[in-house]
Structure 1
Amino acid sequence: MTGLEITEVVIPDSVDAPNAADFISCIDVRSAVWAHDSGTRDEVRPPEEMLPGWRKQEFEPKRMLLARDNGRPVARGIAEHRLGDAADTAWLAVEVVPDARGRGIGRALAERVEALARQARATKFIVYASCWRVGGPRLAAPTGFGDVAADTPETRLLQSLGYRLEQVERGSWLPLPVDEASLEAMRAQARDAAGGEYRIHTWTDATPPEWREDIAHLLTRMSTDAPSAGLEESEDPWTVERLLADEALEAENPSTALVAAVEHVPSGRLAGFTELLAPDDLTRPVDQEDTIVVREHRGHRLGMLLKLANIAHLQRVRPGHPRIVTYNAEENRHMLSVNEAIGFAPFVYEGAWRKDVRA
């Protein structure tokens, strides 16, 4: 394609570094894509928030490509990997600015990120693609839960490249603030259901030393306990060393992490946790990050108790944000029921696609 140049981006140490221009251009591409496709700026992120995640290369290797059309940044591609048993999987993404679509740039970039995944010896490629179109022909997930538009450029491209739809995720949002009386009434019901064997703890940003081992264990369980349908995602092990390295980088993020964890009092171990990430800008929404209750402690409404505790935590220490945004697998009926009871409503669906290649 005449005028198209694709180069790999060097991840800078800071957004002010001399070599940060390409990274910032990639984040600008991401912002343009999300703002156009969603019709809102809810998912727009400044470079300084995105950079800490990209500097997590030791345990989560990732590479980014920038596509220029006659010198103008128009698209970015991502290839992300894991280590150990999860090294067979690569998570890929391609984003093209609206006025550069339909010219083969997305396909060219997709082929390049697949090449990066092959270099890493991945044999399973996973792509998450948002579907904003409603109505029209639909493509159902094989799980029997959810569907995406069957006739969009994204769907056609993924199918032409050999990907198959495996799972649909629901994006939901909760308007803030939640009425304090309603919040406390729901919390009381959840506490009664949980009984006296569980205790809630909350903190901001770094994990307290006494809970580091448990949080590392719960993060490992996130990769095996969450519904993954036909994606068959492998265990992604976390250690205290990895947790500390992750938190050291996240300390550079100008957002605030708020955590609620539930302790099983008889054992003194954590049975689950949930995390919210609140940007400094109060006009922007809060992101719901990981939530997990391990299988052996389910059935006590701990997921509800955790979510409500952290919403109360948020409204106490970071009031003023307009809403919380969360994503859940459409077949994860238990967590969706929790969200719906609290007041979350769907606003977008996302397809999880898989492609298998030879080693």
Structure 2
Amino acid sequence: MTIEVRRVSVPRSLGDDTDPNVVDYRRAVELRNLVEALGYGSDDFASSAEEDLPSWHREHEPRELFVATVPDARGPGRRSIVGRGFVETRLEDGWPVAWIAVQVLPEYRGRGVGTAVADAVEAAAREAGATRLLVYVVSPDAPGERLRAPTGSGSVPLGNDEVRFLLGRGYRLEQVERGSRLGLPLDADDLARSLDDARRASGADYWLVHWIGDTPAHWRKDLAMLLTRMSTDAPSAGLDEPEDVWTVERLVAQQESDREAPVTSLTAAVEYVPTGRLVAFSELSVSDEVARPVWQEDTLVLREHRGHGLGLLVKLGNLQQLHTERPGHPSVLTFNAEENRHMLAINERLGFVPVGYEGAWRKDLI
């Protein structure tokens, strides 16, 4: 079996289904969705090619897509995509980290496809100047010995294929992330009462605000600051992720790009009244397809404003906005570090239940 790995030139649009780059990109997305569904036992974690497309063209977050192909039995010269991988870095000079992924169809595992893709994406990361690789990969539950995260929270099955593969390539487990699901709809009266209680508990100095889509101009600077603090204030164990600086220009550019996707962003934030600045926020990513789950994206409360119930307040505020503005979706999905007990407790209070776990892995290149 001859394995070929090549870069895909991800298209700017998907209108031409005869374009080989469009075909390759769509097939790579389909492969990712299949592998994720097998890992989680659910297709809730799938996303469409159209939803994903803007993420491949963000100026400040360069990404490269690779596919592995093998001969196709349907005819001479034809090849099938059986594996995929990507590498993501940052535009900043000297940026030390690359996030990578490798996914292979189950029937082609153990035949060198994963190794070929991993070699390609690791080489691309080195070429980009990365000195540290980070990988997030689902680990389905299985019997037998466990590999515990050094945080003391969470573990993965030691005998799983993905665990043995990563260990064999010199990666080490640093953290376990919990995937959780909140079934919808929520009871409207209960939600309203909970939100009123959260407002009273937070006190008069904190005011809940919200918006749909692009961030209003007067909040852009504050949101850029909060997104920067996501990279320093959220638990990252031994992954040692550097500060990822957001500017207003980066925020505007990304939101302009994301308008092309069939997805709407809902944001709830908290203004600290004495200063007029935002000190907490939470984002939901809502597909235009009402049958699809909603993604809970970033949630952060600045360290200096914790202890006032603001995490619960912004999440409830955004769930209320979702209920009012975009009803009908079946669920909300989210991920949190297993050691982030405070945020997990908030999620559990809201009704989220665990649906799967990912290992967060690190490999140093120097």
Q: Same fold (TM over 0.5)?
A: yes
Alpha carbons of structure 1 residues 293 and 86: separation in structure 2 relative to 1, 3 Å: farther
| Structure 1 residues 48-63: aligned runs within 5 Å | 48-56=50-58, 58-63=59-64
Task: Give the corresponding residue for 1:42.
Answer: 44
8 Å CA contact 2:4, 2:69 repeated in 1: yes
Alignment size in residue pairs: 356
Match of 1:244 among 245, 249, 252: 252
SS of residue matched to 2:14: coil
Letter in 2 for 1:29: L
Letter in 1 for 2:195: R
**TM-fit CA distance, 1:179:** 1.2
- Answering whether residue 31 of structure 2 is matched by residue 23 of structure 1, we say no
SS of residue matched to 2:95: helix
Separation (CA, whole Å) in 2 of partners of 1:163 and 1:85: 25
Deviation sequence 1:194-215 (CA, Å, 0-9, x none): 1000111111110011101101
Separation (CA, whole Å) in 1 of partners of 2:93 and 2:57: 22
Task: Give the corresponding residue for 2:11.
Answer: 12
**TM-fit CA distance, 1:85:** 7.3
| Structure 1 residues 243-262: aligned runs within 5 Å | 243-262=251-270
SS of residue matched to 2:86: strand
Separation (CA, whole Å) in 2 of partners of 1:254 and 1:75: 26
Alpha carbons of structure 1 residues 186 and 135: separation in structure 2 relative to 1, 3 Å: farther
Task: Give the corresponding residue for 2:66.
Answer: 65
Give ranges in structure 2 of 5+ residues lacking alignment: 72-78
Separation (CA, whole Å) in 2 of partners of 1:126 and 1:32: 22
**TM-fit CA distance, 1:84:** 3.2
Q: TM-score, normalised by structure 2?
A: 0.95
Separation (CA, whole Å) in 1 of partners of 2:280 and 2:339: 20
**TM-fit CA distance, 1:182:** 1.9
- Answering whether residue 212 of structure 2 is matched by residue 204 of structure 1, we say yes
Task: Give the corresponding residue for 1:228.
Answer: 236
Q: TM-score, normalised by structure 1?
A: 0.97
8 Å CA contact 1:274, 1:290 repeated in 2: yes
8 Å CA contact 2:40, 2:138 repeated in 1: no
SS of residue matched to 2:354: strand
8 Å CA contact 1:174, 1:345 repeated in 2: yes
Separation (CA, whole Å) in 2 of partners of 1:104 and 1:278: 38
Task: Give the corresponding residue for 1:301.
Answer: 309
**TM-fit CA distance, 1:75:** 0.9
8 Å CA contact 1:85, 1:236 repeated in 2: no
8 Å CA contact 2:64, 2:88 repeated in 1: yes
Deviation sequence 1:298-323 (CA, Å, 0-9, x none): 11000000000100100111111111
Separation (CA, whole Å) in 2 of partners of 1:15 and 1:3: 29
8 Å CA contact 2:94, 2:129 repeated in 1: no
Separation (CA, whole Å) in 2 of partners of 1:164 and 1:196: 46
Task: Give the corresponding residue for 2:75.
Answer: none
Deviation sequence 1:63-122 (CA, Å, 0-9, x none): 110111111011111111024377100101001112222212111111111111111111
The two structures, once aligned, show a CA RMSD in angstroms of: 1.2
Moved more, 160-169 or 172-181: 172-181
Separation (CA, whole Å) in 1 of partners of 2:70 and 2:280: 47
Task: Give the corresponding residue for 1:319.
Answer: 327
Separation (CA, whole Å) in 2 of partners of 1:85 and 1:300: 38
8 Å CA contact 2:5, 2:68 repeated in 1: yes
Separation (CA, whole Å) in 2 of partners of 1:83 and 1:193: 41
Letter in 2 for 1:338: I
Separation (CA, whole Å) in 1 of partners of 2:144 and 2:187: 37
Give ranges in structure 1 of 5+ residues lacking alignment: none
Separation (CA, whole Å) in 2 of partners of 1:101 and 1:180: 47
**TM-fit CA distance, 1:136:** 2.4
- Answering whether residue 175 of structure 2 is matched by residue 176 of structure 1, we say no
Percent of matched pairs sharing the same residue: 51
Letter in 2 for 1:11: V
